[in-house]
Amino acid sequence: MSHCTYTLDQAAPLLNMGRNTLARRLREAGVLGEDNLPAGLYRGSRRGGRVNLVIVATGTYWHPICGWTHYGRTEFTDAGLDHIAAKLGIPLASLPHPSSRLAKSHPQPARSAS
């Protein structure tokens, strides 16, 4: 089972639309709340939640005025992309193989000829 996830920025082109359009349509469909985090049944819970479709990646960053600030970012699994494509009634572009995503995000340095 693959553990690849896609942010809204990565999922939007796979669903043949822009990030803001995707976020708006997911809010209208009840998948995301106003904060673009999972809503309703898509919110992670141990009782019937669709945790395997939509997850929230959390972290912190340094804000120059507020100091350390927490954030949550919505990410979709492969199954989640299939689900939202079907829910929104849009064709899903072919997903890249997970190894190709790793190769793009971690390029190998050129080797010396000597």
d(CA 84, CA 31): 8
24-50 tens-digit pLDDT? 999 999 999 999 999 988 876 444 555
DSSP state of 49: -
d(CA 96, CA 102): 10
47-93 tens-digit pLDDT? 455 558 888 889 999 999 999 999 999 999 988 999 999 999 987 76
For the stretch 94-97, contacts whose Cβ atoms lie closer than 8 Å and that sit 24 or more positions apart, written own/partner, are: 95/14
d(CA 67, CA 15): 36
